[in-house]
Each structure stands twice: as C-alpha cells, then as structure tokens.
Amino acid sequence: MNSIIKILFLIILIIPVSRANAQKWIKLDKTHWFHHKSGDFPESGWEESGKKLSLTGGEGGTLISKEEFGDFEWTFNYQIAPGANSGVKYLVSNEFENSGGGWLGLEYQLIDDSGYKGNLKDEQKTASLYDLKPTQNDKPLNPAGEWNKVKIVAKDGQLEHYLNGELVMSIDRNSEDFEKRVKKSKFKKYSGFGQIPQGHLMLQDHGGDITFKNLKIRKL
C-alpha cells in the first residue's frame, strides 16, 4: 500500500513540472532569426534595441526563425509606419521552393489598412489570415504609428488571430472551409499548403518600416 501511495505522489509531482516545461516562454531576440537568403542575421536594415526589433529602410530582408513550431502561442506588439505593408508568418517551410514558392506559410497580415496606397481586399487587411479569411469588421485596430498587440494561437489544427486582446479570426486548417479557401487563393497551386505539422516563423520585409517588441512564443 505504501508503494502505491509513493508512486501516486511522484506522478502528482511530475505532471505539473512537465506541463510547465512544455509552456516555457521563449523570448525571440535577434539570436533566434536568420536572413532567408544569407543564413545570418542581417548586418543592416534590422536593428535590435532592448526588447525591440526594428526594420527601417526596407533593406534588411525577410527573417526566418531558427526553430520550428507546431502547436504554439505567439505574442508581440508592433508599430507600423503610415502607408507601410508587412506581416508575420507561421508554419513556414521552403518545401515549395522548387515550384517557385520559396518560403511559404500562413500569414497574420500587418498593414496600414487606411493609409496603404492600393486596393485591399478584406482578406488582405490587418489581422486577417492573408488571402484566406478576413477578420470581423469591428476589429480593435489602432492606427499606423501607434502600438498594437498581437496573439496567434495554433492548436490541434485550430488557428486563432487576436488583436489588442480580442479574437478577430479563427479557422480549422483541417476543415473543408480551409481547403475551399486555399483553392480560391493565390496559394491554390501549392498542394498541401498550410498542412505541415510544424514550421518556422517569419518576419517579413515588404519595404516598409515596422517595429516589433516583446516577441515571445511558447509551445503548447
């Protein structure tokens, strides 16, 4: 009887520790990123200062995370310049490189919705799942030049985009709805797009200035 009690006691101790390890936050500073072509962190364009990682002048190039993630919670704040276009991607891979796709993944769009010079579809506006699913119409977006807070959750196929504390887009990437949206999008020629079990993160360089701060992620 004593042996059984000891075993149960050990199980109770081990389970919380395992969960804590699985949910440890990773702070994504410059050491966690590489340039999508050179393989190193760029010497110019991107600059780290304290908890901030900034792109200025559109000369830094796109950054890819060194580590891959499957189920995760990713949070950060961003400040985009008036008229600028950017975005972050997740579940990114270069598996479509031979077919001209390069590094592809699912995108949380970041753009100046009202000041961008160009016509934007709803699926191309801030916090949308780029070119696949728009956000709700009344999303709590602060204007360009001000800070916004982002949270992205990927868990068991379910994708959730949060903006300033509010859930603004969700979809199951294993659903018929997701498949239909891919077939109508610019990604339709890439078989299996959005279906890899895990992938890299991406910070895009679209030529506009943007600053990120408090970039952190935890595996779920």
Domain ranges of the chain: 26-219
User: What contacts 19, CB < 8 A, 6 or more positions away?
Assistant: none
- pLDDT value at position 8? 46
- pLDDT value at position 137? 87
Q: DSSP secondary structure string, 129-152?
A: BTTTB---TT--PPPTTS-EEEEE
In the numeric block, which tokens belong to residue 68?
Answer: 């891959």
User: What contacts 101, CB < 8 A, 6 or more positions away?
Assistant: 190
Confidence of residue 129 (pLDDT cuts 50, 70, 90): very high
Q: Is the pLDDT of residue 5 over 60?
A: no
pLDDT tens-place string over residues 58-90: 678 999 999 999 999 999 999 999 999 999 999
- pLDDT value at position 192? 92
Q: Is the pLDDT of residue 7 over 50?
A: no
Q: Which strand (E) or helix (H) includes residue 86? A: strand 85-96
- pLDDT value at position 10? 47
Q: Domain 26-219: what homologous superfamily?
A: Exo-inulinase; domain 1 (2.60.120.560)
For the chain, what is the mean pLDDT? 90
pLDDT tens-place string over residues 93-108: 998 876 677 899 999 9
pLDDT tens-place string over residues 132-170: 999 988 999 999 999 999 999 999 999 999 999 999 999
